[in-house]
Amino acid sequence: MAAEGQKLMGHTSWGLLGPEILASERRTRTLGLGATVRVFNDLAVPGLGGVWFGKQLFLATLGVAVAEGVKSARKRAQNIEVANAIEALACWLALSNNGWQPDPRLRGATKMRNKDDLAFAAMRKPSFYVTQPMRQATVQPLRALGFVESIGERFNAFCCTQLGHEFIEGACDESTRDKSSVLARLIGWGYGDDRNVNTAKMRQTLSPLQPMPERGRNFVLEQLIKGTGEEAFRRRKALEWVQALRNKPRQRMTWDTKPKMLDDSHWRDLRAGALFFTARDAAISLLDTIETHIAPQKHQRVPLDSTFPKSVADKLRSLRESAQAFCNNDHDPSPGARAFCHECIEPSDARLLEKLLGREGRVLCLRDGAIVPGVAFRGTLDSRPATARSAEEDGAESEIEQVVPLPDGISHRVRNLFFLNLDLCGKLDDWLGTSPDNNGGA
C-alpha cells in the first residue's frame, strides 16, 4: 500500500498521502498498532474493510473497469485516479442536485462547490476532490468479495473480474450490450468526451444518495454470504446478527449475552477486540488532552515529571483502567495488544507517558525529558475521530448519530456491517432519516 504514495509514471498517486501531507492534514495516530487493529477487525468481520454502504463498492469497482477500458485504447490511466475521478463525479452530481447539502455518504461538499468543469482531465487532478476518498476503504472488500483480482494489495494493480463486471451490470441495472451503458459513457469520458456525464441517468446510477437497484444489492449480499472457509463463516454469522438487530433498534446490547448465531470463539475475539479498542482510544484521548494542555503554554514544553492538571490525571487513570481490563481478560489473538496494554498500566506517570510518546512521535514528541509539539501539532481538537482513526476506521461517518444496538467498544466493522445490511435491504435512508434525490430519468 505504501508504494501507492510514490510517484508513478511521473505523476503522484491521488488518495494516498505523503508524510508531510499526512502529518498536517490527517493526524492519524496509529501508535504502532496498525497490525493489531487489522487483526481484531478481520476477526470481527473478515474482508469488510471500511465499507458501510453499497455504492462505495460499486464506484470503486467501476473505477477499475473504466481504467481498463481507457487503457485498452492506449490512453494513460491508473486505477486510483480513475476511481477517484468517478467518485468525485458521483458526489458532484449528488451535491449539485441536492443544493450542496452535506450527507455522510458524500464527500467534497466544500471543495467542489464552485467547480463546474466535469471533464475527466479536470476531475482526475488531486486538487479537484478530497485527499481521503471513500475508495480507500474498499481495497480489502473488493478482493474478498471477488470483484477484482491482483497479485498484491495495491489498488493500481487490480483487474476487474467477471464477477466485478456482473456486479457493475446489476448496479447499473442494464446490459453491457447497451450502447448508452454507464460503463461505456465513462470510458468515453476517460477518452475526453464529457458530453454524457451530467445527465439524470448518470446521477441516478452514480449518486451515493441513490440506492443501488435491487439486482445490484442482491449481488453484493450473495457475495457476502457465500464461501465455506472460516472467514466466510464469520462474515455470514455477523450478517445474521446485525440483521436480527434491525428488529431491536432501541435495545442496547451488552457483553453479558452472546448472540446465539455467533460461536464462542468469535464472541471471545470480539470481546478482546472491544477491550483493546477501548484502551487504544483512551490512550489517544490522553494524548489529545495533553495537546490542549500544552497549546497555551508560553514555551509549549511540559516536563515529564510535571504535576499535570486534573484533566490529564483523569485520562491517565482511565487509560490504566482500560488497559488493565484487557490484561484481566486473558485472551489476546493479536500480535501486540497485550504488550501495549502492559505499557499502559505502568504505575509511574512519567514512564507511562515516555512509552506512549515513543509510539506517538507525530503530534507530540519527547525531547530532553519534556513533551513538545510534533510536526502535526494543532492544539485544538476540531476533528476528534480523524486524530484517532485510520482511513478504514472512518467507516460509517461520525455524522451518523443514530444509536446502533451493539456492545460498547466493538470493532467498527460490525457497526459498518449493520449499516451495509440496511442499505442492501433498501432501508438505510429510513434509518438515517433522509430520502434520496428523486430526479431520476434516462
Q: What is the pLDDT of residue 402?
A: 64
Are residues 306 and 421 located together in one domain of the fold? Answer: yes
Query: Is 216 contained in some domain?
Result: no
Q: What is the pLDDT of residue 230?
A: 93
Are residues 197 and 285 located together in one domain of the fold? Answer: no
Query: Is 373 contained in some domain?
Result: yes
Query: Final residue of a domain: which of 207, 225, 253?
Result: 207
Phi-psi region of 73 (alpha: psi -120 to 50; beta: other; left: phi over 0): alpha
What's the grid cell of residue 11? Answer: 505523476
Backbone dihedral angles phi then psi of residue 89, each to the nearest 5 degrees? -60, -45
**Strand arrangement, sheet containing 370-373:** 302-303, 370-373, 364-367
Are residues 179 and 73 located together in one domain of the fold? Answer: yes
Query: Is 198 contained in some domain?
Result: yes
**pLDDT at position 23 over 50:** no
| CB-facing half-sphere around the CA of 35: CA atoms within 13 A | 7
More confident residue, 261 or 375: 261
**pLDDT at position 121 over 60:** yes
C-alpha to C-alpha distance for 78 and 67, rounded to whole angstroms: 6
- Cβ contact 412:396 at 8 Å: yes
Report the domain count for the chain. Answer: 2
Are residues 324 and 193 located together in one domain of the fold? Answer: no
For residue 170, which of 307, 57, 17, 19 has the smallest C-alpha distance?
A: 57
Are residues 82 and 136 located together in one domain of the fold? Answer: yes
Are residues 304 and 412 located together in one domain of the fold? Answer: yes
Query: Is 250 contained in some domain?
Result: no
Q: What is the pLDDT of residue 251?
A: 73
Query: Final residue of a domain: which of 183, 207, 231?
Result: 207
* Spatial CB neighbours of 367, under 8 Å, sequence gap ≥ 6: none
pLDDT digits (tens, 9 = 90+) for 311-343: 999 999 999 999 999 999 989 999 899 999 999
For residue 117, which of 194, 208, 59 has the smallest C-alpha distance?
A: 194
Are residues 73 and 136 located together in one domain of the fold? Answer: yes
Out of 79-83, 258-262, 301-305, least confident range: 301-305
Query: Is 282 contained in some domain?
Result: yes
Task: Round the CA-based radius of gyration of the chain to a whole number and report it.
Answer: 23
How many helices (H) and strands (E) the chain has is answered by 19, 7
Q: What is the pLDDT of residue 298?
A: 83
User: pLDDT band for position 196 (50/70/90)?
Assistant: confident
Percent of the chain whose predicted confidence (pLDDT) is above 90: 70
- Whole-angstrom CA distances from 131 to 15, 18, 55, 284, 357 are 5, 11, 19, 23, 27
Domain span at 304: 31-48+264-436
Are residues 131 and 200 located together in one domain of the fold? Answer: yes
What's the grid cell of residue 409? Answer: 467498544
Query: Is 249 contained in some domain?
Result: no
Percent of the chain whose predicted confidence (pLDDT) is above 70: 85
Query: Is 238 contained in some domain?
Result: no
For residue 219, which of 60, 342, 54, 56 has the smallest C-alpha distance?
A: 54
What number is the average pLDDT over the span 115-134? 95
Are residues 279 and 142 located together in one domain of the fold? Answer: no
What number is the average pLDDT over the span 349-365? 92
Model confidence, pTM: 0.87
Residue-by-residue DSSP string for 310-329? HHHHHHHHHHHHHHHHHHHH
Are residues 199 and 273 located together in one domain of the fold? Answer: no
Out of 56-70, 128-142, 262-276, 420-434, least confident range: 420-434
What number is the average pLDDT over the span 199-225? 95
Are residues 80 and 193 located together in one domain of the fold? Answer: yes
The mean predicted confidence, pLDDT, of the chain is 86
Measure the CA dihedral 39/41/44/49, to 10°.
-130
- Cβ contact 259:399 at 8 Å: no
Are residues 173 and 121 located together in one domain of the fold? Answer: yes
Query: Final residue of a domain: which of 207, 222, 252?
Result: 207
**pLDDT at position 248 over 50:** yes
What number is the average pLDDT over the span 207-228? 94
What's the grid cell of residue 247? Answer: 428488529
Query: Is 243 contained in some domain?
Result: no
More confident residue, 206 or 181: 206
**pLDDT at position 399 over 70:** no
